[in-house]
Chain A
């Protein structure tokens, strides 16, 4: 007995070509390579922080860049996992990293309300905008790589995949720029560096879903 799908199956079989399965390790490798390239580009174009170059590490710098790095990696891992559809996959690991990184803007707000920092001076705003723009620029390569990976894959939650692409790219972008930005003020980091993550996350959530629907 012929089934309505028989002709389609015959056509699909006729068109079959060998495929190279999307590998988690390969996806992660590409993303980390893009992040490393971005960091190197920042260092080459803008220079590395003098204190880091001298081997002195400020605690706020270590904690902030560490949090952004962990959030970036956790989000990248989640995006790579999401590119391969699977019932029962757990995509929740990045939430804890995001909650930890969210302490930065919260701490920044608390300190700024306590008058602990000047955030409204022209210099402060200009410096902050520079961090925002260059941080976003440093996130572009990782963003493009993840979008390309998702288009090859089959994300079953494009909206969330877009958001996480933005979070991953923004976090790794500002991590890269933190290697240059010598400001250790928690208000500056909480406002402007976290602002990169929030801005690129919003862009990802808005732009990526239509690019990766299938």
Chain B
């Protein structure tokens, strides 16, 4: 049975006062909620790590919840912030040089990152998604991307700029 908003808020009030039993129940409910929330947003292999990171964030920022305000929007805001941070780290990791191939190299993080990025790009118009994919992910120059897509170089730049802005806005408002 899922705990409702009122129950979670009561547990949180007790947790802020130092009630460990209430806090254990609260964190278990939060862990279930976060698993459902991130299940639609990240690759399965990254789910547990992100849930645990967010639980630690909730623990460190317990004082930022005000009992006069609802609990779930507070937790959702923290979850969304951690999710955006996670995506940022994934995106930056893709820009680092890869080590040379060796036996037993684990490609799963790169594949998982690609799944997350592909899900985001699918929400953009085709021209913008293609421009971002070619230049920012596959590393083509603007001129090469222009030849590949048939768009002018100016249009490629505009599509990248608009696409990234739209992605940032979607992620912020998610």
| Chain A residues near B (Cβ < 8 Å) | 3-5, 8-10, 12-24, 83-89, 152-154, 156-157, 214
Interchain nearest-CB distance for A30 vs B (Å) = 15
Chain B positions near chain A (C-beta within 8 angstroms): 15-18, 20, 23-24, 27-28, 31, 48, 51-52, 55-57, 59-67, 69, 73-74, 76-78, 80-81, 172
Complex Cα gap A88–B15 (Å)? 24
Closest B residue to A153 using CB positions:
B64
- Quick check: A9 and B16 within 8 Å, CB to CB? no
Q: Which residues of B contact A19 (CB under 8 A)?
A: 16, 62-63
How would you classify the secondary structure of chain A's contact residues: helix, strand, loop or mixed? loop
* Interface pairs (28), CB distance under 8 Å: A3-B31, A5-B48, A8-B52, A9-B27, A9-B31, A9-B55, A10-B24, A12-B23, A12-B27, A13-B27, A14-B20, A15-B59, A16-B20, A17-B18, A18-B16, A19-B16, A19-B62, A21-B63, A21-B67, A84-B64, A84-B65, A84-B69, A85-B61, A87-B74, A152-B63, A154-B64, A156-B80, A214-B60
Nearest residue (CB) in B for A4 is B48
Given contacts A8-B52, A89-B77, 12 further A-B contacts (CB under 8 A): A4-B48, A4-B52, A5-B48, A5-B55, A12-B55, A13-B27, A14-B20, A21-B16, A84-B65, A84-B66, A87-B73, A154-B57
In the complex the two chains form, what is the Cα distance from A23 to B63 in whole Å?
A: 9
Give CA–CA (A157, B168) in the complex, Å. 12
Most buried by B among A4, A86, A89: A86
CB distance B18 to A86 under 8 Å?
no
Complex: chain A residue closest to B173, CB-CB = A87
B60–A88 contact, CB under 8 A? no
Q: How far is the CA of A84 from the CA of B16 in the complex (A)?
A: 15
B residues less than 8 Å from A152 (CB atoms):
63-64
Docked complex Cα distance between A20 and B77 (Å): 20
A85 adjacent to B27 (CB under 8 Å):
no
Contact of A9 among B15, B24, B78 (CB under 8 A): B24
Set of chain A residues within 8 Å of B77, measured between Cβ atoms: 85-87, 89, 156
B59–A12 touching, CB < 8 Å? yes
| Assembled-state Cα–Cα distance A214/B62 (Å) | 13
